[in-house]
Amino acid sequence: MSARPTPTNLVVEGGREVPFTSQANHLVSFFKTKATRHPRAEVPRLPPRTTSMFRAITRQELASALRRISYATACGPDDVYNEALVHLPKVARTALLRTFNRSLSRGMVPREWRRRTIFPLLKPGKPAGRVESYRPVTLTSTVAKLMERILHGRLRHLVQSDSQAGFRADRSSTDALMWLRAHVQPTNASKTPLTSAVFVANLCIL
């Protein structure tokens, strides 16, 4: 286990140190000024559905997602660590899978999964006695992130086209260039005229 630094009282206004409760209040006030969304902004709500658009999550999907999660992740407010999820017995995995599928079929997320813990992390080389030296790190439920990982894998295949090269893992604009070259060379060899080709990323027209 890595060593953690000893908590240091924040020096706020006037160079005075304050108790930990007041420290938290000062950090919350500071982080609120950096928020990108207005605190009273309305959250869009989807109309209720009587049927689910998702097929049930399978045991294979759950096992695959568990193999990919990292141990080097802090737990959220529910105090469930990734190590505990990986070593769940068969009965517990069945119960977890049932919970995931019930959430999908009903279109509801457990309240505990929506809770967040904001942890102030000291920036490298910054003085520990100033609120400006900390950045907020949000810790969320590892159980919720496990379900998100499964759904992300499904949505990625639906949204991303096989011809898309940018903003994809293990793909780049070089792949698009190589694909274009592979199609142009046989055309030149057969003396067939090439009408046009467009490479949108660099706005080049050949």
Domain count, the chain: 2
State how far Cα 7 lies from the chain centre. Answer: 28
Per-residue pLDDT, 205: 43
Task: State how far the Cα of 62 lies from the Cα of 43, in Å rounded to an integer.
Answer: 30
Q: Looking at the predicted structure, is the pLDDT value of residue 50 above 60? A: no
The answer on 192 and 150 residing in a single domain is no
Q: What is the pLDDT of residues 122-148, one digit of tens each?
A: 899 888 878 888 888 889 999 999 999
The answer on 62 and 86 residing in a single domain is yes
Q: Looking at the predicted structure, is the pLDDT value of residue 62 above 90? A: yes
Q: Looking at the predicted structure, is the pLDDT value of residue 17 above 50? A: yes
Per-residue pLDDT, 11: 61
Q: Say what the pTM is.
A: 0.65
Q: In the structure, what pLDDT confidence band is assigned to residue 204 with cuts at 50, 70 and 90?
A: very low
The answer on 146 and 104 residing in a single domain is yes
The answer on 130 and 88 residing in a single domain is yes
Q: What is the mean pLDDT of residues 181-187?
A: 70
For residue 24, give its domain range. Answer: 13-36+49-159
